[in-house]
A and B are shown apart, each in its own frame.
Chain A
């Protein structure tokens, strides 16, 4: 294989790639925020004593977790407009990511909820707190704290999933990479630089999260 490397066309477009990376990070950040809310609500559904609630929550979680995220994206982007629900491209993409993250986080939070000793609720009851107060002041903070590492992982995988935005032509890193690839024909260079950008970003996020966790751990 005689292929002469030439990174110049990539460097020329490097700012575009970085811009794409920024878009990906923003989409992931927005989606994880919404996903945490969905996941939190659904997790309480999963552990609910009310049978239909638990069943519906369980169905949502196991269905979404067993289908490809790209299918969810296509559904939001192509199927919902047909049903008369119209969003912008970006909104439907963020919605798809949030729904997907919500299902995964619900499972994570359920584990967190079940790991909270019954004594925590009882101690709250013993000082006269009402159920909603117990949930807000005791259960939810404990749940979020114990699942922080998993939330970090969810964020990283969500960030990688933002590459799928390229499939519905939302411009982000992968979309621009493909464009540069086609325009410059510097194939190997494009994909090496693109993956390195993703790897560097995920690595940085992971390190920052670990630092953040360590900080919190001391405070406990």
Chain B
């Protein structure tokens, strides 16, 4: 087993002391018959071990594409990374050969999805799929692999794991399937887990179970977690930091307490006041007028300006706002962030 571990560690340039994950100026575009869609237009973020970073945004803003680019599973063609770097412990993953990339994917960075059924193979039992991972990547014997698979299913709280390893994915309920997928993702002890809307299709009581499980596994393993979601309740419950995306850009990045207390970008602020609250009655829901832009026709200047309550000429005429430093570890892409943060 140490042999194998050593083998994975042969990643040229790997520096165990470097930042766990760092995404700089990532650009992704889709070249389709209808023109070029600019799905990601300069995404930046960092992730530490044990940290939960939430990527928050409405559908189509580029969350999943960002995750796919980090994982190296972008649908290409038509999707291309056109600029930027994805640095894992100092190594730019975008420069790696596919074979090396695949090793990183299996061992270091794992991903789970909204739809577990499409992520699992329907024709093999879950026990077989798990055991294969251990046999292939860890060189385990059939018996050891089976034992380890049962342990893992136990860890993700599948009741009677020993009896269920012969079952096929469709024989599990939605919540249990999500657990199986988590087990698969964590089998090879990754340092980073990317969870793309992991509970969006689930009922709230099941969501609570799964989020609780993820938090616990993350703590035990000191794993970095990137949680992709549109749900501001879930984010408030689990995230350490948040990156808010709009039209392919991170428009605001901040620690979780700060962003809820004093949002610095008009989009974040508008989102927060457009959601009904469970613990309050009767507040007026403010509305963000209009729609997010088509990605092949992103407005010039600040992409949010047609919907923004703070917009003025500068927003339309100047180049897109840079990521202004709002505070230590806090940025916002709005020329008028001071005004946004100050007025209550």
Q: Do A and B bind each other?
A: no
Residues of A within 8 A of B (CB): none
Residues of B within 8 A of A (CB): none
